[in-house]
Amino acid sequence: MNNRMATAGLVAFLAVDVALVALALRSGQNTSHSLPPVSTTRTAPLTTSPPASATKSPTQGTTQAPAAKAVPVTRLVSALDAATAWRATTGTCDTGGATVEVTADGGQTWTKRRSPARALARVQALDETRAFVIGAGGDCVVKQYASRDAGATWQAPTVVVGGWARRLDQPTQVLTPKEPAATPCDKAVVLDLSRTSAEQAESLCADGSVVVTEDGGTTWSDSGDAPGAVALSNLLVNDSLTTYAVRMVGACKGVQLVKVVKGSNAEVIACVPVASPERGTVGLSVTERAAWIVAGNQTWTSQRDLTSWKRV
């Protein structure tokens, strides 16, 4: 379990994640007016084939098979509410393959959109028509791409400033507002990343541990455990950080949704009967109004209580 305590004082942020996204989406913006990048160092090529990594055995009392291979999430989902959501696949810079789809009817139908990049590290819904992705083109340099018409067109790419994303070329690293190559899980693979603000985000580590940062990615500390977890999502509920994960364990034929609680065992919420789930192909997005699970081409949704799920 990675349990690092914050060693540096909080510093004033030069940029706020949400504010920067708003700037990126302003009508008429072009790349010549973008803010300075997080790092002037050229980002290494993105890939989705992480090196093999041994994982710690699950904690006592779980039914997950030990030493499961660490496979970062390659199926992305970002929900706005019960009706609108985006889903994507990461692809690679070498071979492309990134895909983008959007739904406005609760997942009944999905509209395929052209991916603005060969590889994608993050997709983020902002409202019914606006969204952005973080990805890389043929040169494998990470950039941010914004759309104001539900992905029908994409604005010119901008540098990523104040954003959060996994570094797909380095599976132990994440891009944060304060650190271009943070290692929240030390030397372990980061399976998933979920943020709530420019200062706060959580990472799911290969051993099922969850770590949190409150200072833009400079320092990370223990936020709970979910042995067997394959995807992560968090949100603020009454200003309190609330964290969910889906995991693959023997006690559930499908994927098990749990609430991650610091200092306690993960609280089981539901067993979702996803057919033949595979590590790395499951994504989770929980909002105040609804929750979404994508597993390959399957889509499952739930209302606020998160206990009842249906396939759409």
| Domain locations in the chain as residue ranges | 17-26+69-311
The Cβ-side half-sphere exposure at 53, using a 13 Å CA radius, reads 21
Greater confidence, 211 or 14? 211
How far is C-alpha 181 from the geometric centre of its chain's CA atoms?
16
Question: Which pLDDT score is estimated for 11?
Answer: 35
- pTM for the model: 0.79
For the chain, what is the mean pLDDT?
83
pLDDT of residue 7: 39
Q: Which of 2-16, 69-83, 193-207 has the weakest average pLDDT?
A: 2-16
Token digits of residue 245: 């994960």
Token representation of residue 182: 């943070």
pLDDT tens, residue by residue, 134-152: 998 777 778 999 999 999 9
End-to-end alpha carbon distance in the chain? 37
More confident residue, 53 or 252: 252
3-state secondary structure of 248: coil
pLDDT digits (tens, 9 = 90+) for 71-106: 999 999 999 999 999 999 999 888 889 999 999 999
Position with higher pLDDT, 110 vs 41: 110
- Tens-digit pLDDT profile for residues 41-69: 333 344 443 433 333 333 333 444 445 78
Query: What pLDDT score does 170 carry?
Result: 87
Q: What is the pLDDT of residue 307?
A: 96
Query: Distance between CA 204 and CA 64 in Å, rounded?
Result: 16
Q: 49-77: b or e for each residue (b if 16 or more CB lie within 10 Å)?
A: ebeebebeebbeebebeeebebbbbbbbb
Whether domain 17-26+69-311 has CATH 3.40.50.280: the reply is no
40, pLDDT greater than 90: no
Residue range 102-125: average pLDDT?
97
Cα–Cα distance between 171 and 173 in angstroms, integer?
6
List the beta bridge partners of residue 211. 203, 222
Q: Quick check: 234 pLDDT over 50? A: yes
Task: Determine contact, residues 148/25, Cβ cutoff 8 Å.
Answer: yes
Q: Are 282 and 273 in contact (CB under 8 A)?
A: no
Residue 192 has a pLDDT of: 98
The pLDDT tens digits for 259-281 are 999 999 999 999 999 999 999 99
H-helix or E-strand spanning residue 246: strand 240-247
Element (H, E) at 22: helix 17-25
pLDDT score, position 67:
54
CA distance 249 to 199: 32
Confidence at 21, pLDDT banded by 50, 70, 90: very low
Question: Going by C-beta distance under 8 Å and a sequence separation of 6 or more, which residues neighbour residue 112?
Answer: 99, 100, 101
Yes or no: say if 161 and 50 are a contact pair by the CB < 8 Å rule: no
The Cα 304–Cα 95 span in angstroms is 39
Helix (H, G, I), strand (E, B) or coil at 266: coil
